[in-house]
Amino acid sequence: MNNNVIEFENIKKIYNPDTIPVNALNGVTLSIKKGSFWAIMGTSGSGKSTMLNIIGCLDRPTSGRYVINSENPMSMNDAQLSDLRLRSLGFVFQSFNLLPQLTVCENIELPLFYMGVHPEESRIRAEKLAEMVGLADRLEHRPFELSGGQQQRVAVARALTNNPEIILADEPTGNLDSETSTQIMDMLTDLNKQGKTIIMVTHEADIAKYAHSCLHMRDGKIDKIEE
Protein backbone atom coordinates (compact mmCIF):
# COMPACT_ATOMS: atom_id res chain seq x y z
CA MET A 1 0.00 0.00 0.00
CA ASN A 2 1.32 3.44 -0.98
CA ASN A 3 1.58 5.58 2.15
CA ASN A 4 2.95 8.65 0.37
CA VAL A 5 1.02 11.93 0.53
CA ILE A 6 3.55 13.78 -1.66
CA GLU A 7 5.43 12.39 -4.67
CA PHE A 8 7.89 14.42 -6.74
CA GLU A 9 9.47 12.81 -9.80
CA ASN A 10 12.09 14.82 -11.71
CA ILE A 11 10.34 18.10 -10.90
CA LYS A 12 11.79 21.14 -12.67
CA LYS A 13 10.81 24.79 -12.34
CA ILE A 14 12.22 27.35 -14.75
CA TYR A 15 11.36 31.01 -14.37
CA ASN A 16 11.65 33.38 -17.38
CA PRO A 17 12.24 30.52 -19.84
CA ASP A 18 11.99 32.83 -22.87
CA THR A 19 14.35 35.54 -21.62
CA ILE A 20 16.92 34.85 -18.91
CA PRO A 21 16.08 31.37 -17.58
CA VAL A 22 16.35 30.74 -13.85
CA ASN A 23 16.43 27.06 -12.85
CA ALA A 24 14.73 27.23 -9.45
CA LEU A 25 14.29 23.45 -9.28
CA ASN A 26 16.44 21.16 -11.37
CA GLY A 27 15.14 17.59 -11.30
CA VAL A 28 13.87 16.97 -7.75
CA THR A 29 12.61 13.48 -6.88
CA LEU A 30 11.17 12.92 -3.41
CA SER A 31 8.47 10.97 -1.56
CA ILE A 32 6.92 12.15 1.71
CA LYS A 33 4.96 9.69 3.81
CA LYS A 34 1.74 10.41 5.63
CA GLY A 35 2.30 11.58 9.21
CA SER A 36 5.94 12.53 8.73
CA PHE A 37 7.59 15.81 9.76
CA TRP A 38 10.02 17.34 7.26
CA ALA A 39 12.25 20.40 7.43
CA ILE A 40 13.56 21.95 4.21
CA MET A 41 16.77 23.95 4.53
CA GLY A 42 19.09 25.77 2.17
CA THR A 43 20.61 29.14 1.40
CA SER A 44 18.68 31.89 -0.37
CA GLY A 45 18.06 30.83 -3.95
CA SER A 46 18.51 27.11 -3.23
CA GLY A 47 14.94 26.29 -4.29
CA LYS A 48 13.37 25.57 -0.91
CA SER A 49 10.57 28.16 -1.15
CA THR A 50 9.82 27.22 -4.75
CA MET A 51 9.52 23.61 -3.65
CA LEU A 52 7.12 24.50 -0.85
CA ASN A 53 5.03 26.62 -3.22
CA ILE A 54 4.73 23.74 -5.67
CA ILE A 55 3.81 21.31 -2.89
CA GLY A 56 1.15 23.80 -1.79
CA CYS A 57 -0.21 24.19 -5.34
CA LEU A 58 0.63 27.91 -5.25
CA ASP A 59 2.97 27.46 -8.21
CA ARG A 60 3.15 24.98 -11.07
CA PRO A 61 6.24 22.99 -12.07
CA THR A 62 7.63 23.40 -15.57
CA SER A 63 7.95 19.64 -16.00
CA GLY A 64 8.02 16.38 -14.08
CA ARG A 65 5.42 14.44 -12.14
CA TYR A 66 3.71 15.64 -8.95
CA VAL A 67 1.09 13.72 -6.99
CA ILE A 68 -0.60 14.81 -3.76
CA ASN A 69 -2.92 12.36 -2.02
CA SER A 70 -3.17 10.33 -5.23
CA GLU A 71 -4.33 13.43 -7.15
CA ASN A 72 -2.52 15.08 -10.04
CA PRO A 73 -2.50 18.87 -9.55
CA MET A 74 -0.57 19.36 -12.80
CA SER A 75 -3.75 18.50 -14.74
CA MET A 76 -5.98 20.88 -12.73
CA ASN A 77 -7.18 24.37 -13.56
CA ASP A 78 -6.97 27.22 -11.04
CA ALA A 79 -10.42 26.55 -9.56
CA GLN A 80 -9.59 22.87 -9.04
CA LEU A 81 -6.27 23.76 -7.44
CA SER A 82 -8.03 26.15 -5.06
CA ASP A 83 -10.43 23.37 -4.10
CA LEU A 84 -7.53 20.97 -3.52
CA ARG A 85 -5.83 23.50 -1.23
CA LEU A 86 -9.03 23.98 0.76
CA ARG A 87 -9.53 20.23 1.14
CA SER A 88 -6.02 19.04 1.89
CA LEU A 89 -3.64 21.82 2.88
CA GLY A 90 -3.11 24.28 5.71
CA PHE A 91 -0.61 27.14 5.45
CA VAL A 92 1.43 28.93 8.12
CA PHE A 93 3.57 31.86 6.95
CA GLN A 94 6.42 33.81 8.51
CA SER A 95 4.52 37.08 8.11
CA PHE A 96 1.32 35.56 9.62
CA ASN A 97 -0.81 36.85 6.66
CA LEU A 98 -3.72 37.86 8.90
CA LEU A 99 -6.27 40.37 7.63
CA PRO A 100 -5.88 43.44 9.86
CA GLN A 101 -9.52 44.52 9.65
CA LEU A 102 -10.80 41.14 10.89
CA THR A 103 -10.94 39.87 14.46
CA VAL A 104 -9.09 36.79 15.66
CA CYS A 105 -12.26 34.74 15.28
CA GLU A 106 -12.96 36.07 11.78
CA ASN A 107 -9.40 35.39 10.63
CA ILE A 108 -9.65 31.80 11.83
CA GLU A 109 -13.02 31.40 10.12
CA LEU A 110 -11.84 32.71 6.75
CA PRO A 111 -11.13 29.34 5.02
CA LEU A 112 -14.52 28.07 6.15
CA PHE A 113 -16.20 31.03 4.46
CA TYR A 114 -14.63 29.99 1.15
CA MET A 115 -15.71 26.40 1.79
CA GLY A 116 -19.32 27.52 2.21
CA VAL A 117 -19.64 26.38 5.82
CA HIS A 118 -22.63 27.84 7.69
CA PRO A 119 -21.63 30.91 9.76
CA GLU A 120 -22.87 29.39 13.02
CA GLU A 121 -20.81 26.24 12.52
CA SER A 122 -17.82 28.34 11.44
CA ARG A 123 -18.01 30.33 14.67
CA ILE A 124 -18.14 27.17 16.78
CA ARG A 125 -15.11 25.67 14.99
CA ALA A 126 -13.15 28.92 15.27
CA GLU A 127 -13.84 29.23 18.98
CA LYS A 128 -12.66 25.67 19.59
CA LEU A 129 -9.46 26.26 17.61
CA ALA A 130 -8.81 29.56 19.39
CA GLU A 131 -9.13 27.74 22.69
CA MET A 132 -6.77 25.02 21.48
CA VAL A 133 -4.03 27.58 20.71
CA GLY A 134 -4.62 29.48 23.95
CA LEU A 135 -6.48 32.48 22.55
CA ALA A 136 -10.02 31.92 23.80
CA ASP A 137 -9.90 35.31 25.53
CA ARG A 138 -8.75 37.14 22.38
CA LEU A 139 -11.57 36.28 19.96
CA GLU A 140 -12.64 39.88 19.33
CA HIS A 141 -9.13 41.34 19.20
CA ARG A 142 -7.57 42.42 15.91
CA PRO A 143 -4.05 41.46 14.82
CA PHE A 144 -2.49 44.81 15.83
CA GLU A 145 -3.66 44.15 19.39
CA LEU A 146 -1.71 40.88 19.58
CA SER A 147 1.94 40.00 20.05
CA GLY A 148 3.85 38.31 17.26
CA GLY A 149 3.53 34.95 18.98
CA GLN A 150 -0.22 35.39 19.40
CA GLN A 151 -0.58 36.31 15.74
CA GLN A 152 1.27 33.16 14.74
CA ARG A 153 -1.06 31.15 17.01
CA VAL A 154 -3.99 32.63 15.09
CA ALA A 155 -2.26 31.61 11.85
CA VAL A 156 -1.84 28.04 13.12
CA ALA A 157 -5.51 27.91 14.16
CA ARG A 158 -6.57 29.24 10.74
CA ALA A 159 -4.44 26.56 9.04
CA LEU A 160 -6.41 23.91 10.93
CA THR A 161 -9.96 25.09 10.18
CA ASN A 162 -10.36 22.75 7.21
CA ASN A 163 -8.79 19.84 9.14
CA PRO A 164 -5.99 19.45 6.54
CA GLU A 165 -3.91 16.33 6.25
CA ILE A 166 -0.84 18.40 5.32
CA ILE A 167 0.42 21.57 7.01
CA LEU A 168 2.94 23.70 5.14
CA ALA A 169 4.95 26.13 7.27
CA ASP A 170 7.21 28.74 5.67
CA GLU A 171 9.67 30.08 8.28
CA PRO A 172 6.97 29.84 10.99
CA THR A 173 9.32 31.13 13.70
CA GLY A 174 11.26 33.63 11.61
CA ASN A 175 9.74 36.71 13.29
CA LEU A 176 9.56 35.31 16.81
CA ASP A 177 11.81 35.28 19.87
CA SER A 178 13.28 32.00 21.08
CA GLU A 179 10.70 31.31 23.81
CA THR A 180 7.76 31.96 21.49
CA SER A 181 9.44 29.93 18.74
CA THR A 182 9.60 26.96 21.10
CA GLN A 183 5.89 27.33 21.86
CA ILE A 184 4.97 27.38 18.16
CA MET A 185 7.19 24.38 17.42
CA ASP A 186 5.67 22.47 20.34
CA MET A 187 2.27 23.10 18.77
CA LEU A 188 3.42 21.81 15.38
CA THR A 189 4.98 18.77 17.08
CA ASP A 190 1.69 18.00 18.83
CA LEU A 191 -0.19 18.29 15.51
CA ASN A 192 2.28 15.88 13.94
CA LYS A 193 1.69 13.42 16.78
CA GLN A 194 -2.01 13.66 15.97
CA GLY A 195 -1.25 12.42 12.45
CA LYS A 196 -0.75 15.64 10.48
CA THR A 197 2.01 15.70 7.90
CA ILE A 198 4.21 18.76 8.50
CA ILE A 199 6.49 20.24 5.84
CA MET A 200 8.44 23.26 7.06
CA VAL A 201 10.96 25.61 5.46
CA THR A 202 13.45 27.04 7.96
CA HIS A 203 16.95 28.48 7.99
CA GLU A 204 17.39 27.77 11.71
CA ALA A 205 19.16 24.51 12.58
CA ASP A 206 17.65 24.35 16.08
CA ILE A 207 14.14 24.62 14.59
CA ALA A 208 14.89 21.96 11.96
CA LYS A 209 15.73 19.53 14.77
CA TYR A 210 12.03 19.25 15.58
CA ALA A 211 11.51 17.46 12.27
CA HIS A 212 12.02 13.74 11.68
CA SER A 213 13.77 14.34 8.35
CA CYS A 214 15.76 17.30 7.10
CA LEU A 215 16.08 17.98 3.38
CA HIS A 216 18.97 20.23 2.35
CA MET A 217 18.61 22.06 -0.97
CA ARG A 218 21.45 23.48 -3.08
CA ASP A 219 21.19 25.08 -6.54
CA GLY A 220 17.70 23.71 -7.14
CA LYS A 221 18.62 20.14 -6.26
CA ILE A 222 18.52 17.90 -3.19
CA ASP A 223 21.96 18.10 -1.63
CA LYS A 224 21.34 15.60 1.16
CA ILE A 225 18.63 14.18 3.42
CA GLU A 226 19.21 13.66 7.14
CA GLU A 227 16.91 11.24 8.94
Q: What share of the chain is helix, strand, coil (3-state, %, to 5)?
A: 40, 30, 35
What is the rounded average pLDDT for all residues in the chain?
92
**pLDDT, mean of residues 101-117:** 91
Please tell me the predicted confidence (pLDDT) of residue 227.
85
CB-neighbour burial class of residue 120 (10 A; exposed 0-12, middle 13-18, buried 19+): exposed
**pLDDT, mean of residues 97-118:** 91
In a domain, 19, yes or no: no
In a domain, 23, yes or no: no
In a domain, 8, yes or no: no
CA 141/CA 146 separation, integer angstroms: 7
In a domain, 3, yes or no: no
CA distances for 208 relative to 131, 188, 211, angstroms: 27, 12, 6
In a domain, 2, yes or no: no
pLDDT band at 192 (very low <50, low <70, confident <90, very high): very high
Domain containing residue 216: 35-59+77-226
pLDDT band at 1 (very low <50, low <70, confident <90, very high): low
Lowest mean pLDDT segment, chosen from 36-45, 108-117, 125-134: 108-117
14 forms beta bridges with 23
Please tell me the predicted confidence (pLDDT) of residue 118.
92
In a domain, 72, yes or no: no
Q: How many domains does the chain have?
A: 1
**pLDDT, mean of residues 135-147:** 94
CA 95/CA 151 separation, integer angstroms: 9
8 forms beta bridges with 30, 66
Please tell me the predicted confidence (pLDDT) of residue 97.
87
Q: Could you give the percent of the chain with pLDDT greater than 70? A: 100
CB 38 within 8 A of CB 198: yes
In a domain, 20, yes or no: no
In a domain, 192, yes or no: yes
Tell which residue, 123, 115, 108, has the closest CA to residue 154: 108
Q: Is the pLDDT of residue 152 over 80?
A: yes
CATH of the domain at 98: 3.40.50.300
pLDDT band at 115 (very low <50, low <70, confident <90, very high): confident
**pLDDT, mean of residues 97-117:** 91
Tens digits of residue pLDDT in 66-104:
999 889 999 999 999 999 998 899 999 888 889 999 999
